[in-house]
Amino acid sequence: MASIRHRRGRRALLALATMAVAVALAGCGGTASPAANASTAPSQAAPITPAPTASPSPAASPSAVASAPASAATSAAPDPAAGLKIDAPYTFVALPPAMQQAFESQMASSLGAFGSSITFGFRQVDGGTGQAFLMVLAFPTGTVSAPTFEGMLGGLSGSMGATLQKTTVDGVEVSSGPSTSGGVGIFHIGDHVLIVIAEKPADALPIAKALISANQ
């Protein structure tokens, strides 16, 4: 019974956050419209510097745990979360393929035509004080300018009921704070936006820091 409740809680937390993100991005779709950019294909550059291997090495250092293999997806689009690492004590766990596909479809359909130009990646993050997830959104090349990202932050803070504060981590600005569903941490590297969704507000910023540190 506890396992069933855990799975239901995990699905509910991520579903709520996915809907909030979709609402926020749909609201700022005009300022981040792919039609305004030279390229409408999602950026293929990794958000930080992912490892080239498809699966984690068994000899990986305990201080930087490699990501779990990407979940199977029905679409041929690349998984923007593939290859990302995270520092201990956190580890990545791939979502069940059906769950990943459901959230990808929900995001794409909520965003309409704008959603077809974005690819999505999801990972469960273990090691914190509660459930947590990473959502990675890869936008078309040249889309995520500083003003556009600020607009996204405004939309996300409103739709998620979040109070965000900015912290600089190894040169990367992270906006984090409590939200109606727990806690959230948001940052971007180039045209990749990374969103940490945590059940416990105190987990969001440390997970974001562990992500940035492991992938520098």
Specify the range with the lowest mean pLDDT, choosing from 28-32, 38-42, 45-49, 176-180: 38-42
Q: Tell me the average pLDDT across 211-216.
A: 94
Question: What per-residue confidence (pLDDT) applies to 55?
Answer: 44
**pTM to 2 decimal places:** 0.72
Under the banding of pLDDT at 50, 70 and 90, the label for residue 45 is very low
Q: How much is the pLDDT for 100?
A: 84
pLDDT one-digit tens code per residue, 109-147: 777 766 778 888 999 999 999 999 999 999 999 999 999
Q: For the residues 18-22, what does the mean pLDDT come to?
A: 66
For residue 74, the 8-state DSSP code is S
Nearest Cα to Cα of residue 186 among 161, 165, 215? 165
Residue with the bigger pLDDT between 191 and 6: it is 191
CA 122 to chain centre: 6
Amino acid at 61: S
Strands 85-87 and 132-138: unpaired
Decide if 113 contacts 144 (C-beta within 8 A).
no
Beta-sheet pairing, 172-179 with 165-169: antiparallel
Which residue reads 């030279």 in tokens?
A: 38
Residue 152 has pLDDT above 50, yes or no: yes
Counting every residue written for the chain, the total comes to 216
Rounded to whole angstroms, how far apart are CA atoms 157 and 177?
A: 9
Instruction: Give Cα 161 to chain centroid, integer Å.
Output: 18
DSSP 87-139: ETT-EEEEPPHHHHHHHHHHHHHHHGGGGGG-EEEEEEEESSSS-EEEEEEEP
pLDDT value for 11: 56
**pLDDT grade for 25, boundaries at 50, 70 and 90:** low
User: How do the domains of the chain map onto residue ranges?
Assistant: 2-214
The closest alpha carbon to 25, from 175, 173, 159, belongs to 159
Q: What are phi and psi of 190, to 5 degrees?
A: 65, -130
What pLDDT score was predicted for residue 16?
60
pLDDT tens figures, 168-186: 999 999 999 999 889 999 9
What percent of the chain clears pLDDT 90, i.e. is strictly above it?
44
**3-state SS class at 162:** coil
